[in-house]
Amino acid sequence: MKKRVISFILVSLTCLWLAGCGSNSSAAEMVSEQEQTEDTQVTASAGQSVEAEMTAPEQENTQTETAGQSDTEKRVARDDAQMQTEDPSMPTRIPMEGGTKINMYFGDTLITGVLNDSETAQALIDKLPVTQHVNRYSHDFCGITEDLPYKEEEVHYGWLNGDIDYAIDAPYFTILFEDEDDSEQYGDQVNIGVITTPLSEIAVLEGSYDVRIELAEE
């Protein structure tokens, strides 16, 4: 009898123990499922992060391409310009036919030129004769001048060797005689004419001048 009782108790304990293991197993499975869900969420989040990181350079590339298109479409000095390339000792731009001829006196040196029919050039012509102070720089003679009117569509980058320009950023009166091939990094230029003497005659000059600008006698 005692053996039967003991056996019953052992069987009951075994069943309880097995029931407990089953609960632990179910809990473990629930924990495992939760961990898998969290792992999935983390993986998805990481995927979104990687996608975002991949998208950013693509956006930058798009912006770069847009900027590149803008650069290629910018107006430069040679656009619509009548040019000569046979004689590099002379200005690149061909003077406007029927333009206004001027004399510019750098001390004892006469530099002749022709102004075009732009609004800016015409405003300068109306003021002649004038004395313009200029300083020698690496590729030009330049000096601060009076404000002159200009049209936005005439503002461009760069210059051609020999150009007489009005730079709107100061504003400046400038005669540019060198470095046209590297000039398109400089903006805010309005061309108002070109010199008609050899480039070397102005390039050889040094220092500062009070340049007398007047209409040339016909």
pLDDT digits (tens, 9 = 90+) for 142-199: 999 999 999 999 999 999 999 999 999 999 999 999 999 999 999 999 999 999 999 9
Residue 53 in 3-state DSSP? helix
Say what the pLDDT of residue 73 is: 78
Q: Give the domain 100-215 fold.
A: Cyclophilin (2.40.100)
Per-domain residue ranges for the chain? 1-73, 100-215
More confident residue, 19 or 148: 148
Is the pLDDT at 208 greater than 60? The verdict is yes
Phi (first) and psi of residue 21, to 5 degrees:
-60, -40
Say what the pLDDT of residue 72 is: 53
Closest CA to 79 of 143, 147, 158: 158
164 token code pair? 């007489």
Is the pLDDT at 50 greater than 60? The verdict is no
Say what the pLDDT of residue 184 is: 96
Is the pLDDT at 90 greater than 60? The verdict is yes
Long-range CB contacts for residues 120-123, cutoff 8 Å, separation at least 24: 120/148, 120/149, 120/150, 120/154, 120/166, 120/190, 120/192, 121/192, 121/193, 123/148, 123/149
Is the pLDDT at 120 greater than 70? The verdict is yes
